Amino acid sequence: MMIELPQDEESRVEKLIGICKQYGGSSDSDSGDGRRLSAYSRQFIHAAAEIYTIMRERFLRGYEGVKRERMKEFSYIAVVGEMSKRFDKADIRSCHGMRMMGRMDYLYENHLKEVIDEMDAARLANNP
């Protein structure tokens, strides 16, 4: 399923994909015991989280009248699939240098979810 975006959102997503490409791949950090750890950069995480929220909101707009909570799980599947395709097309790699297809669930659960929840809370606080 492809999530179609209006031109302004598509342009923003393309810019964010550029940020993900620039800051993608391994961002080494020190584990404290002399080992190097691979991790995603803060810039990558925030850009990917914004891509997710743009696509999720566009997807959910197509289901006006349906309970938003019911659609969140379905939107997750659609958005993660679309992001995987777009990241692979842009040759954006995981922090271990692997293709993103199949690794988006891990990225979402371990890195994006918390940032997205914070973004959602801030949006709700500003638009009660």
* Residue 123: C-alpha distances to residues 63, 87, 119, 126 (Å): 20, 26, 6, 5
Segments in the chain below pLDDT 50: 30-37
What's the pLDDT at 36? 43
pLDDT reported for residue 1:
60
Give the residue among 119, 104, 106 at the shortest CA–CA distance from 50.
119
* Confidence at residue 54, expressed as pLDDT on a 0 to 100 scale: 96
Tell me what pLDDT residue 35 has: 43
Output the CA angle 1-119-127, nearest 5 degrees. 100
Residue spans per domain, the chain: 7-126
Q: Quick one: pLDDT at residue 29?
A: 52
Q: What is the pTM of this model?
A: 0.83
